[in-house]
Structure 1
Amino acid sequence: KARSILIQNVLNQFNLVLDGEEIVTNVKNNSFAQSKHNLIQGILKIYDLTLTTKSNVSRLFYEEVFDFLYNEEILGSAKVSVSGESGIKYFIDFILPETKSKPEKLINFANHLDFNKVTTDAFMYRDVKHNRPSRSGLAPQMLIVANDVEHPITAKARQAAEHEHLSILHWSDKDRIKAILTQ
């Protein structure tokens, strides 16, 4: 879905239309040169999307997760800056607020969850969990939504997450993600 949005943005930028699998434009004689230029530029920009860089692929995954949360009406705050006890500021991808009976859920997304990402998130969690205000007295939970569809999660990453009390939510099991985030 995120790729479709990117493609549609390019088409709109260059006044182009997707007709089946063809990129087309309507041209008037007096604007032929500019329209031809726009068509070529649009095709090149869409071609560039096929050479998607790692950061763009990660961004696409993040957009997919944000779209999923929005479509499932899972209410929370996106891209939140929080401070740890150390004074270091961190960005958390999504935070679900606590309720009287449920702890706050701190959620990060990982397009490629590896040992290093787990240890980074574990350090952040240890640093911020005692700094989070709580009316219920419940400690926040840390969860990671991981793209296991594209990148299998290694045993080492899984073991480290379990040891640090981080829950891994597999992107391949969206029903479980929804159940955990709405319970």
Structure 2
Amino acid sequence: MSEIDLLIDGYWRWLRDKTAIKQLKDWTEITTPYLDRHNDYLQIYARKTETGFVLTDGGETLLDLKQSGCLMDSQKRQAILQTILNGFGIEQQDTELQVTATSDNFALRKHNLIQAILSVHDMFFLASSTIEALFFEDVADWLESVDIRYTPRVKFSGKSGFDHMFDFVIPKSKVASERIIRAINNPSRSTAQNLIMAWIDTKDSRPESSESFAFLNDNEKTIAGNVTEALRNYGITPVAWSQRDQFRERLVV
């Protein structure tokens, strides 16, 4: 068994062992080891139906953003939210993020719902009602301003069979390999871990020379050293937003 196989097996073992189940009448509460932006364990809910299962966040994701002053009251924000949800096959039902599943694809749909919730939390972290530009948009604007070509919002299937969304892919050129970027608005142990596992799971399905970059928002706070160290340990290049120009030459070719 390769080192990557061992890492993936260890990840799924951690995920299984740290997941807690609680019955709430017709619903089952699933507490995951993933942390939200408040460092609380992320919870989702499942209910058996005649045709399979319904999985939902119970409306907690959008309610939390609303209570934090981040309203989905502009076309731009609604478009970004829908792009995230569509990428993972998640629907918005009133205030809930929701997906249906069968016994065969329950694990995949559960994974997709969790990843969508984490993406929404990170995308709108620290975004008040007076701030229009989100970090994803900042990165996209910068890439365009320095003539770096890219494809946005690309989803790759990992070795596990699960899907992972990356924010930008810069295609291979004659002199440079494919470069895969995720923009992390709230750099933390949890968001770094999420990217690391996504990269480990998908890198074997990409060309051998493909590189991974993490754009880290340091506008509001200093990035912890253990975050950048963890990323480097798994072959991911951390790019602090304040130092982005130092990496232009690696990305523009």
The bucket for the TM-score relative to the shorter chain is: 0.5 to 0.7
User: Where does 1:1-183 land on structure 2 (aligned, <5 Å)?
Assistant: 54=125, 56=127, 60-132=134-206, 134=207, 138-183=208-253
Name structure 1 gaps, 5 residues minimum: 1-5, 10-52
CA contact (8 A) 2:213 2:236 kept: yes
Aligned partners of 1:111 and 1:166: how far apart in 2? 16
Which protein shows a greater Rg? Answer: 1
Unaligned runs of 5+ in 2: 1-72, 77-123
CA contact (8 A) 1:129 1:139 kept: no
TM-score (norm 2): 0.47
What RMSD in Å do the two structures reach over aligned CA positions? Answer: 2.4
Q: 1:78 & 1:55 partners in 2: Cα distance?
A: 22
Deviation track 1:1-24 (CA, whole Å, cap 9, x = no partner) reads xxxxx99x9xxxxxxxxxxxxxxx
Q: Distance in 2 between matches of 1:124 and 1:54?
A: 21
1:80-121 residue CA offsets vs partner (Å, 9 max, x unmatched)? 111111111111000011124422111000111111111111
Residue 15 of structure 1: aligned partner: none
> Whole-Å Cα distance in 2 between the matches of residues 108 and 147 of structure 1?
11
Other structure's SS at 2:153 match: strand
1:67: how far off? 0.9
Greater share of helix: 1
Higher relative contact order (CA 8 A, sep 6+): 1
- More strand, by proportion: 2
* CA apart distance, 1:55: 6.5
Give me the identity figure in percent: 24
